[in-house]
Each structure stands twice: as structure tokens, then as C-alpha cells.
């Protein structure tokens, strides 16, 4: 057995101690806490099959019920259609879960915004209180890395907020990318953020920002931000090679793979972008600053676009899911695993 297979197997064995009493998921102790990995995900990991991590904040805080549940199910289906196993991550009753059953997805979707939005700093508090947590990019990356999942698909990442040099408002997504070796497939960052400073911060953190079939960093709703990426990937195979090189070199940093919104949705994306610019002007005119600015901007953009922003958001997440899953499959092939391999 080659060394990557041995290291992966030891990683799985270290994290997995299945309890026969649970049919739907295997529990294991890791780093002092109880984690539950669904049987499907743990089986896929143990045989080296492609697995894609998915966050849960988009379910609880991204859109209303039942649209959030439908979208979550559709994204999981897209991952499967492209040859990978979806591993949606959340904290339920104080237990971090990697891979959710349909009832658990339904519970999150119905509870919605009452579920605590959970970044890395919140994980211990939610677990200690035996609460429910919808994981953001930083928390999802943390749990994905713990389970040995290399690819994580999301909509967009957080970043440095406008006037961040005064407020120090910098998303923990950026520091997580600097210390957690997971590849994050996203449509870049929303232009309500300071994109040039976001990219500068990632460069300081040593994070490779790769454009998927583009030289320019996408701005979520639009294909272009006016900022260049540090490297370009022209295929899912290129992306897999980048991830594998990062792992083998033990750089211990994440990779941001930036995928532009699909062309057929970029017209509505441009409409959303113009609404963002208008909302930014209004915020300046009304002297709305600091922590009040982002909620104002998001709410105003939603009003101005009459729901177009949500449709574009869903379209780009689905596109990211398809590309991220293909990357995960290429990575498995590159590492020489076979779906039927049994350890």
C-alpha cells in the first residue's frame, strides 16, 4: 500500500471508533470531544472515496423554509451526481455531525435563524451548552479537516469589511484558510466587502488563491472584481494536483478555489451588483458605519433586487457543488484510490 493510503488509513482509524448501537452514524472521540460521522461518510472515507464537505449556515441563515431544505437536498444530489458523497456539517444537541440524515436537514431548515451561527470561536460554547449550531466556513473547515475531508464547497467566503482598517472587522474565514489544510470552492467574496484588502490578508496568511478558468478573482454575483488571482486552474485535474501538492508539502494552509458565477446567471448578477453599489452609496449618505453597515447593506440589496440576489446565490452554489465534486473525484484518482478498495 502506498504511503498516502497508509497515512489516510491511519487518519481514519485515529478518528473512527464506531459504536455498533448506532445504525445511522458512527461515533468517535477526537481531540477530547464526541463527533458523529454518518455511516455513509465514514464508509466513504475509510475506502478513500470522494467526499465533499458542505456548510449548514446557508440552510439556517441563507434563505427561508422550505426553500432552504429544497436547496440543501438539491446541492447534496448534485454532489452525488458528480461522483462524490456529500458531508453536510452542523452541531446538533452539542454534538458536531459530519454527514446529516434527511430528518436532521429538515430540523435545521425548520428551526432556521434560531440555530446559532457558529464560527470557529463559537464551537466550544455551542458544544458545552449542548446546543445546535449552523457552521460557517471557518467551523466547517475545522471539522472537515478533523475528519480528513480535503474539499469543501460553499457559496462565498467572508473577508475584510470595508473600513476594516479602522474597525478590525475581518472574517475568521480568512484566518481559518491560513491554518487549516482544506480546499474551499467558492464564488469569491461579495463586493460589500473590501476585496483588495481581503486578498492582501489571504496573501499574508500564505493562502493560495486560485481562479478556476479565470485570471480574475470573482465577486460572488459577478465574474470580475478587478483583482487578479495568484494562480489559474484550467481543469478539475489541475485543481486536484494543486491540493495534493499542498498536502504533500505539509504547507498546513487552505486553498481558495474561486469559481465565477455561471455566465447564464451573470446578467442577474450584474443587476444585483448595481444594487450593492447603490446600497453602499446610501449607507455613506446616511452615515451607517461599523457593525450596523453589513445588516443594512444585505437587507437593502434584498429590497432593491426583489429576490434576484437569492436566485443568483442558489445558482452559483449549485455550480460550485458540481465543480467541487469533480475536483474531489480527481483527487481520489490522483491518490490512486479505487472506490471499491477495501482496507
Burial degree of 219 (CB within 10 A; 0-12, 13-18, 19+):
buried
Question: In the structure grid, which three cell numbers stand for residue 96, read together?
Answer: 458536531
Secondary structure (3-state) at 338: coil
Task: Report if pTM > 0.75.
Answer: yes
Q: What is the pLDDT of residues 170-212, one digit of tens each?
A: 999 999 999 999 999 999 998 889 999 999 999 999 999 999 9
Exposed/middle/buried for residue 230 (C-beta within 10 Å: 0-12, 13-18, 19+): middle
Quote the pLDDT of residue 16: 52
CA angle 54, 189, 231 (to 5 degrees): 90
Cis before 153? omega within 30: no
- DSSP characters over 75-99: HHHHHHHTT-EEEEEEEETTEEEES
Q: What are phi and psi of 57, to 5 degrees?
A: -60, -35
Q: Please, are residues 334 and 223 in contact by the beta-carbon 8 Å criterion?
A: no
pLDDT of residue 298: 78
Angle at CA 270, nearest 5°, toward 268 and 275?
100
Active-site amino acid positions = 55, 190
* pLDDT confidence of residue 14: 52
| Range 41-44 contact pairs with CB under 8 angstroms and sequence separation of 24 or more | 41/85, 41/87, 41/98, 41/99, 41/147, 42/12, 42/16, 42/18, 42/99, 44/85
Model pLDDT, residue 32: 42
Three-class secondary structure assignment of 251-293: CCCCEEEECCCCHHHHHHHHHHHHHHHHHHHHHHHCCCCHHHH
- In DSSP terms, 51 is beta-bridged to 85
pLDDT of residue 1: 52
Q: Give CA–CA dist 71/55, Å, rounded.
A: 12
Q: Which residues contact 184 (CB under 8 A, 6 or more apart)?
A: 137, 141, 152, 154, 157, 177, 254, 255, 256, 257
Where helices occur in the chain by DSSP H, the ranges are: 3-15, 39-46, 57-61, 67-81, 102-111, 123-128, 137-147, 164-167, 172-179, 195-204, 236-248, 266-285, 293-305, 308-334
Which pLDDT belongs to residue 18? 41
Nearest Cα residue to 171 out of 154, 151, 189 = 189
Q: What is the pLDDT of residues 234-282, one digit of tens each?
A: 999 999 999 999 999 999 999 999 999 998 887 777 888 889 889 999 9
Q: What is the pLDDT of residue 29?
A: 41
- Gap between the Cα atoms of 14 and 29, Å rounded: 9
pLDDT of residue 3: 54
Q: How far is CA 202 from CA 78, 132, 255, in A?
A: 29, 30, 10
Q: Using 50 as the pLDDT threshold, list the residues of the chain that sit under it.
A: 17-25, 27-32, 338-343
Beta bridge partners, 179, equal none
Amino acid at each position: 500500500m502506498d504511503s498516502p493510503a497508509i497515512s489516510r488509513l491511519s487518519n481514519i482509524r485515529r478518528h473512527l471508533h464506531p459504536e455498533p448501537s448506532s445504525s445511522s452514524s458512527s461515533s468517535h472521540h477526537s481531540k477530547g470531544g464526541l463527533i458523529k460521522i454518518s455511516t455513509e461518510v465514514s464508509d466513504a472515507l475509510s475506502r478513500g472515496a470522494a467526499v465533499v464537505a458542505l456548510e449548514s449556515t446557508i440552510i439556517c441563515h441563507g434563505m427561508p423554509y422550505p426553500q432552504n431544505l429544497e436547496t440543501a437536498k438539491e446541492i447534496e444530489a448534485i454532489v452525488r451526481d458528480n461522483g462524490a458523497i456529500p458531508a453536510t456539517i452542523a452541531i446538533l444537541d452539542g454534538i458536531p455531525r459530519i454527514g446529516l440524515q434527511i430528518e436532521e436537514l429538515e430540523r435545521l431548515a425548520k428551526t432556521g435563524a434560531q440555530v446559532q451561527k457558529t464560527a470557529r470561536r463559537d464551537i466550544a460554547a455551542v458544544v458545552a451548552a449542548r446546543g445546535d449550531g449552523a457552521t460557517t466556513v471557518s467551523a466547517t473547515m475545522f471539522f472537515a479537516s478533523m475528519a480528513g475531508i480535503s474539499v469543501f464547497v460553499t457559496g462565498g467566503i467572508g473577508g475584510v469589511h470595508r473600513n476594516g482598517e479602522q474597525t478590525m472587522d475581518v472574517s475568521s474565514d480568512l484566518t481559518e484558510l491560513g491554518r487549516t489544510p482544506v480546499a474551499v470552492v467558492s464564488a469569491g467574496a461579495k463586493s460589500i466587502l473590501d476585496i483588495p484588502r481581503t486578498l492582501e490578508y489571504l496573501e499574508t496568511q500564505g493562502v493560495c488563491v486560485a481562479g478556476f478558468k479565470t485570471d480574475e478573482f470573482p465577486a460572488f454575483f459577478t465574474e470580475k472584481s478587478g483583482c487578479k488571482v495568484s494562480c489559474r486552474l484550467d481543469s478539475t485535474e489541475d485543481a486536484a494536483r494543486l491540493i495534493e501538492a499542498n498536502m504533500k508539502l505539509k504547507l498546513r494552509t487552505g486553498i481558495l478555489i474561486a469559481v465565477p458565477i455561471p455566465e447564464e446567471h451573470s446578467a442577474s448578477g450584474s443587476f444585483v451588483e448595481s444594487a450593492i453599489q447603490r446600497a453602499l452609496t446610501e449607507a455613506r449618505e446616511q452615515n451607517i458605519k461599523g457593525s450596523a453597515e453589513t445588516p443594512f447593506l444585505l437587507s437593502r440589496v434584498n429590497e432593491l433586487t426583489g429576490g434576484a440576489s437569492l436566485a443568483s446565490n442558489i445558482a452559483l452554489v449549485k455550480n460550485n457543488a458540481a465543480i467541487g465534486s469533480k475536483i474531489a473525484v480527481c483527487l481520489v484518482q490522483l491518490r490512486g484510490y479505487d472506490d471499491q478498495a477495501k482496507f
